[in-house]
Amino acid sequence: MAMGESCRRKGALWAILALAGVLSAGPAVLADLSNVVLRVQASDGRSVGVLEITQEAGYWVGGNFFWSTEDALPIRDADDNVLGWFGPADIRFYADPQVVLGFSVQAENTDTDFQITSALLSFPTITDAQARADAAVTVMDFFGTGATLTGLGPTGGAYLAQYNGFVPGGTTFVERISLVQVVPPNTLATSDFEYPGGGAYAPIGSASDMSAEFSFRLTAWGFASGSSNFEIIPEPSAALLLLAAGLLGRRR
């Protein structure tokens, strides 16, 4: 084989390997984010309070958005009554794309419904997309009377990850964690999941946006915290085949 031909083939191989690294890191173009990055709603059955975090409260770094608080923020209704507390909490949106959400909430003296909704993260369409998600929720009982968290999602889950539409109106990737219950003398209980599990990804077809939500009822004086991760990537083999075909065509 001629030296020039060998070098060209090695160059094509290195190009394919380099692209594999780029694909694993996600799209190079920046994603788009709705202005309200986090919406928290609390309802005690008599009134509703809403807390909204906008982009101005956080910051962008390299196309990724971050917001966090170490404080417990009050959620108030129209009459300025405190329905619950939110925080410490954080939310991160990566252009890869990826939505990471962490929160803490506490109910007042009545059972309270909480809805914690991320912004819609939009990105250039990924035609052969794969996704994975995981979440964990912990409930604590400070008074020895027990505490219960009950999921209020479309099929009874407390955590919902969706794509191609804003939660809860998009296409569901996964919905999990229906019940977390603290039974005295225990003081806390935890429920978690990974889907599809083991670090693997599940195919979802084409995707162009994503969002996530926690929605649940928490018994009076209960405290709950949670964390979640939802990410979408291109399907590597299909993209590599396309690149390989392009490189071979150029070589010919």
Mean local confidence (pLDDT), 179-206: 97
Instruction: Please report whether residue 21 resides in a domain.
Output: no
pLDDT of residue 30: 55
Please report whether residue 147 resides in a domain.
yes
Cβ atoms of residues 114 and 214 within 8 Å:
yes
Q: What does the pLDDT read at residue 237?
A: 59
Q: Residue 141 carries which DSSP code?
A: -
The C-alpha torsion from 160 through 163 and 164 to 168, rounded to 10°, is 10
For residue 116, is it within any domain? yes
pLDDT at 17 over 70: no
What tokens were used for 140?
């604590």
- Residue 61 to residue 42: CA distance in whole angstroms: 31
Q: What CA–CA distance (Å, rounded) separates 133 from 177?
A: 13
pLDDT score for 9: 43
* 3-class SS shares of the chain: helix, strand, coil, % to 5: 15, 55, 30
pLDDT band at 31 (very low <50, low <70, confident <90, very high): confident
Q: Is residue 159 part of a domain?
A: yes
Which two three-digit tokens encode residue 226? 């949670």
pLDDT of residue 152: 98
Structure tokens at 57: 């409260």
Evaluate if residue 143 carries a pLDDT over 60: yes
User: pLDDT tens digit string along 55-90?
Assistant: 999 999 999 999 999 999 999 999 999 999 999 999
User: Is 93 within 8 Å of 65 (Cβ atoms)?
Assistant: yes
Q: What pLDDT is attached to residue 235?
A: 83
- Evaluate whether residue 174 is within a structural domain: yes
- What average pLDDT does this structure show over 15-28? 39
Say if residue 16's pLDDT is above 90: no
pLDDT at 236: 73
Q: Is the confidence at residue 2, as pLDDT, over 80? A: no
In a domain, 126, yes or no: yes
Q: State the CB neighbour count (10 A cutoff) for residue 45.
A: 10
Does residue 143 lie in a domain region? yes
Establish if 59 belongs to a structural domain.
Answer: yes
In terms of phi and psi (left: phi > 0; alpha: psi -120 to 50; beta: otherwise), the region of 21 is alpha
Q: How many CA atoms lie within 13 A of 139 on its CB side?
A: 31
In whole angstroms, give the CA distance from residue 87 to residue 74. Answer: 9
Instruction: Work out how many domains the chain is built from and give that number.
Output: 1
pLDDT grade for 13, boundaries at 50, 70 and 90: very low
The rounded radius of gyration (Å) of the Cα atoms in the chain is 22
Considering the chain, what is the average pLDDT of its residues? 87
**Local structure of residue 31 (DSSP, 8 states):** P
Q: What's the pTM value of the predicted model, to 2 decimals?
A: 0.83
Residue with tokens 């999602």, as numbered in its chain? 153
- Domain interval for residue 126: 29-234
